[in-house]
């Protein structure tokens, strides 16, 4: 989505007088992947804001026609982009993020910008040590070729099926791939892979700040991209924060849990947590 569209959403949220909620997508998806979530939260009395990463195209068709626009987006650059947008809201929002969006939600919360946050199958940050085989297999689609660092990398259907849609039927997996999948910047995956080796990494979260606010981590039981071991290790890094920190596992769900036919259970879990604090 364009910066103007993002700013228009923020202005509308400020004008509404309603509590804002910001949705942050991860790699290989667009802001449109949150449409049903935004409608659900709006019906519950929130002002949804669904910003894009820098240069996100408006549609999946445009994204697949112009993949180069996704290239060269670092975690630090994208985090600063979102934190700048969030800072324009007149009230601290709830922040909900999926995958690398879940990492960005935690970065934003660590900077004191969130009233409450939900990180769904969040990408790991410095200090999160487990490297399950399935997660390495997913990442290898990108980091297996060093040239991908500066490229935009699409997923093949088979890669999407394994990394996102392993817990749905073949028919639904193909529909999800056609409806939602877009190329993604390779750089964040290289940054995440080296986060524990690089003392200056951008892939880091302030887990101790007293203004972090309540945090819920949601893990899909069958997620290959961010398995329970990674989500639980993120929880362990966060749980000593003075804010409430909780983790929940959604049974029989893969990494597509925010966009597939079971999205409503996940959205309801996130909404219930947000409503407790925001």
- pLDDT, tens only, 208-253: 999 999 999 999 999 999 999 999 999 999 999 999 999 999 999 9
The average pLDDT across 59-88 equals: 96
Please give the pLDDT value at position 3. Answer: 52
Q: Which two tokens stand for residue 151?
A: 């490229």
Report the alpha-carbon distance of residue 258 to residue 188 in Å, rounded: 21
Please give the pLDDT value at position 278. Answer: 82
- For residues 261-273, b (16+ Cβ closer than 10 Å) or e, as one string? ebbeebbebbbeb
| CATH code, 228 | 3.40.50.1820
Total domains in the chain come to 1
Residue-range definition of the domain harbouring residue 238 = 3-277
Please name which of 244, 252, 178, 247 lies closest in space to residue 217, comparing C-alpha atoms. Answer: 247
What distance separates the 2 farthest-apart alpha carbons in the chain?
48
- Beta-carbon neighbour count of residue 277 at 10 Å? 16
pLDDT of 2 > 80? The answer is no
pTM: 0.97
- pLDDT, tens only, 74-99: 999 999 999 999 999 999 999 999 99
Backbone Cα Rg of the chain = 17
- Beta bridge mates, 47: 20
């Amino acid at each position: 989505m364009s910066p103007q569209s993002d700013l228009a959403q923020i202005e509308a949220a400020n004008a509404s007088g309603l509590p804002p909620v910001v949705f942050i997508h991860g790699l290989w998806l667009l802001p449109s992947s949150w449409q049903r979530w935004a409608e659900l939260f709006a019906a519950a009395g929130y002002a949804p804001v669904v910003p894009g990463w820098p240069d996100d195209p408006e549609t999946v068709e445009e994204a697949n026609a112009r993949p180069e626009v996704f290239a060269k987006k670092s975690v630090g650059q994208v985090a600063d982009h979102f934190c700048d947008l969030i800072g324009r809201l007149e009230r601290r929002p709830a922040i909900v993020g999926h995958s690398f969006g879940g990492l960005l939600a935690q970065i934003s919360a660590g900077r004191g910008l969130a009233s409450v946050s939900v990180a769904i199958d969040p990408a790991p940050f410095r200090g999160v040590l487990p490297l399950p085989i399935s997660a390495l297999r997913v990442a290898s689609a990108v980091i297996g070729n060093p040239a991908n660092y500066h490229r935009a990398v699409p997923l093949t259907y088979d890669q999407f099926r394994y990394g996102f849609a392993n817990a749905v039927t073949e028919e639904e997996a193909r529909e999800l791939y056609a409806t939602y999948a877009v190329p993604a910047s390779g750089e964040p995956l290289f940054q995440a892979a080296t986060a524990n080796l690089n003392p200056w990494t951008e892939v880091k979260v302030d887990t101790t700040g007293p203004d972090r606010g309540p945090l819920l981590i949601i893990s899909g039981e069958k997620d290959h991209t961010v398995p329970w071991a990674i989500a639980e290790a993120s929880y362990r890094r966060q749980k000593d924060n003075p804010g409430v920190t909780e983790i929940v596992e959604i049974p029989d769900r893969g990494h597509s849990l925010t966009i597939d036919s079971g999205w409503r259970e996940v959205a309801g879990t996130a909404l219930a947590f947000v409503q407790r604090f925001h």
